[in-house]
Amino acid sequence: MANPLFDTLFGCHARKDTVFLHLQDGSVVTHAAFLARAAQYANAFIAAGLQPGDRLALQAEKSPQSLAVYAACIQAGIVYLPLNTGYTASEVSYFVENSGARLLICDPSKADDLKPVAQSAGASILTLDAAGAGTLQQSAAGMQTQFDTVARGADDLAAFLYTSGTTGRSKGAMLTQTNLLSNAQTLVDVWQFTKEDVLLHALPIFHTHGLFVATNVSLLTGGAMIFLPKFDVEAVIDLLPQASAMMGVPTFYTRLLDDARFDRDLVAHMRLFISGSAPLLAETHVQFEARTGHRILERYGMTETNMNTSNPYDGARRAGTVGFPLPGVELKITDPATGDALPQGEIGQIEVRGPNVFKGYWQMPEKTREELRADGFFITGDLGLIDDQGYVQIVGRNKDLIISGGYNIYPKEIEVLLDDQPGVLESAVIGVPHPDFGETVVGFLVPEKGQDPDLERIDRAARADLARFKHPRKLIVLPELPRNTMGKVQKNVLRAEYGQLFSA
Ligand code: MLC
Ligand code: AMP
C-alpha cells in the first residue's frame, strides 16, 4: 500500500456518496465531498511549496474544513500539527518555531497577531474561519479535486501533538502512520464499530481523543459522525436520538447528568458511551447507569501512546478501572526507583509498549530517553496497579500534572509565569477537585519582603500569555510555602488544606 494511513482511513471512501458528517444545521458532508475538498487543500499546500515531511500547524475552529486539512496532510505526506484554539499567540509562537512548521493556518481574527510569529519562524500563513472561508479556501478553490497520494512508509511521521512537561517546555510527540492506524484498527475491533454507527462527536479535534480516537475509528469503518463545533448540552440532547455511540471526557457526562432531560428514554437506542482523558468518578459511573441503564465504557490513553487499555465491550465494565491492556499493547507496573516489574496488586508506575507507542519527542533526544526505554516501554507517569482479575486501576500520577475538563495543565508552566510577576518571591500551582472540570488550577504566591503583589495585574499577565483553561481560578497569597526537610515544596499539604475550595 502506498500510503497505508491515507488509503485505509480516507482513500477507500473517495468515491462514496455515503454521509460522513451530519452538521448541526442539518446539512451533510459525504465522504466523496470531504475527500474532494481535502485533495484541493493538498494541491494548495504543494503549490505553496510544502513537501512531504514538512510540518503544517493549524489553529482553527472545528469544522469539516479544518478536519479536511488533516486528511490533506496525510494524503500529501505532510506532518499535521493541530493546536488548541485556546492557545495565545505566544504559545503558538513556540509550537511553530519548535516544530519548524512551513505553514501556519489560523483563524482570520488571529492573523494579525500570528503574522509576526509565522514570519520570524519562516512559515507562511493562511486563514480558515469557522465557516470554512479564508485565504486557504481562496488558494484551494481553483485546484483539482484529485491529488496523487504521496507514498509513505509505516514508520513515517503522520502528526505531531504537543504535550507539556514537568519542565514547562512543551514537547512534540512524533506519531507515525503505524501508531495511528494500528490503534484505530484495534479500537474498531474491541468497541465493535461498524459502518452503521453514527458517532456523536462533540470533542475538540486538536487532541488524541477527538482526532485519532473518535475520528479515525469512524473513518476506518466508513460510518458517520454528528459533528458538533463543541460540546453543548442542548445540542447533545437534541441530537443524541440520531446517534448510536458517543465519546467524551467525564465533564460531558457529569454535565449531561445535571440535566433532567437526559434519561433512559433519550438514550434507549444508544449502543455505547465511552469516557476517557481524565478519571471518571465511580460515583458518575453508578449514577449514569441508574439514570440511563448504560454502563459507560472507560478507557485510558495518552498523547504519546494513543489508547492503551479499555474496559471490555462484552463483559464487566468496572467503575474505577480502565480495563485491560488492548490487544497488541503490553502493560506492566514497575518500581519507579529501579524500573523492575512489580508483582500483581502492587502500585507502581505504568509502562506500556506496542505499535501504538510514539517515536519520540521532536528534537529532544534526552527527554525521549528519559521516558521511552531502549526496549520500547514508555514510562507513562501514571501510577497504578493490576487487580486480581487483570483490570488496570490508575491510582495517581508520578508527574506534576493537572487535568481540567480533559485538558492537561503542567503547573510548572504557570509557576514560571507567576514567579516572574513583580512582588512575587515564589509560587506553587496545584490542582484541586472541581465539580465540573474534575480538577481546577489554584495558584499560591509568596510575596517578596514588604511587597503586596497586584493579583489583578497577575491575572492579566496570565491572560496575555497562557490559554484560558490554564489560568488559576484562584490566587492565594501565603507567607511561605510548606516544604519538607529537603526543601521541596509539599504540594500534598496544599492539596489537603485547600482541596475543598470548589466543593459543591
Ligand atoms: C473551557 N474552559 C476551561 C476548560 N474548557 N477551563 C478549564 N478547563 C477546561 N477544560 C474555560 C472557558 O474558556 C471559559 O472561560 C470557562 O472555562 C468556562 O467555559 P465553559 O463554557 O464552561 O467551557 P466549555 O467551552 O463548555 O468547555 C468545557 C469542555 C471542554 C469540558 C466541554 O474543555 C472540552 O471539550 N474538553 C475536552 C478536552 C479533550 O478533548 N481532551 C482530550 C485530550 S487527549 P471564561 O473566560 O468564560 O471563564 C488525552 C488522551 C486521552 O487526554 O486519553 O484521551
Ligand atoms: P494527554 O497527555 O493529554 O494525552 O493526557 C494523558 C493523561 O490523561 C494520562 O497520562 C492520564 O494521566 C490521563 N488519563 C487518560 N485517560 C484516563 C482515564 N481513563 N483515567 C484516568 N486518567 C486518564
Residues with CB under 6 A from ligand 1: 203-204, 207-210, 230-231, 249, 251, 276-277, 301-303, 404-407, 437, 468-469
Q: Check pLDDT > 80 for residue 2.
A: yes
Q: Sign of dihedral through CA atoms 42, 48, 51, 56?
A: negative
Within-domain flag for 182: no
Say yes or no: 359 and 429 in one domain. no
Domain with 294, as residue range(s), is: 231-397
Q: Check pLDDT > 70 for residue 1.
A: no
Nearest to 175 by CA among 203, 151, 152: 152
Which tens digits make up the pLDDT trace of 185-231? 999 999 999 999 999 999 999 999 999 999 999 999 999 999 999 99
pLDDT at 168: 66
Q: Check pLDDT > 90 for residue 61.
A: yes
Within-domain flag for 8: no
- DSSP 8-class letter at 95: H
pLDDT at 276: 98
Within-domain flag for 307: yes
Which tens digits make up the pLDDT trace of 318-341? 999 999 999 999 999 999 999 999
Give percent of the chain with pLDDT exceeding 90: 95
**Which ligand is located closest to the Cα atom of residue 382?**
2
Mean pLDDT score, 173-191 = 98
Say yes or no: 45 and 157 in one domain. yes
CA-closest residue to ligand 2 atom 8: 277
**Which ligand is located closest to the Cα atom of residue 401?**
2
Say yes or no: 242 and 372 in one domain. yes
CA 363–ligand 2 middle distance (angstroms): 24
Which tens digits make up the pLDDT trace of 255-307? 999 999 999 999 999 999 999 999 999 999 999 999 999 999 999 999 999 99
Say yes or no: 335 and 367 in one domain. yes
Neighbour tally for 92: CB within 10 Å = 24
Say yes or no: 361 and 282 in one domain. yes
CA 2–ligand 2 middle distance (angstroms): 33
Q: Check pLDDT > 70 for residue 64.
A: yes
For residue 307, what is the enclosing H or E element? strand 306-310
Domain end (from 136, 153, 176):
176
Whether 212 contacts 178, CB under 8 Å: no
State the CATH number of the domain containing residue 454. 3.30.300.30
Share the mean pLDDT of the chain: 96
**Number of structural domains found in the chain:** 3
pLDDT at 15: 82
Mean pLDDT score, 472-482 = 96
Give percent of the chain with pLDDT exceeding 70: 99
CA 220–ligand 2 middle distance (angstroms): 24
pLDDT at 187: 98
Say yes or no: 433 and 417 in one domain. yes
Which cell is 306 given? 494513543
* Helix axes of 455-465 and 411-419: crossing angle, nearest 10 degrees: 130
pLDDT at 429: 97
123 lines ligand 2 (CB under 6 A): no
Within-domain flag for 450: yes
Mean pLDDT score, 231-253 = 98
Mean pLDDT score, 123-152 = 97
Say yes or no: 291 and 348 in one domain. yes
Ligand 1 pocket test target in 83, 230, 277 with most atoms within 8 Å of CB: 277
pLDDT at 11: 83
Mean pLDDT score, 224-244 = 98
Say yes or no: 101 and 51 in one domain. yes
163 lines ligand 2 (CB under 6 A): yes
Say yes or no: 369 and 418 in one domain. no
Count of residues in the chain: 504
Ligand 2 pocket test target in 385, 394, 437 with most atoms within 8 Å of CB: 394
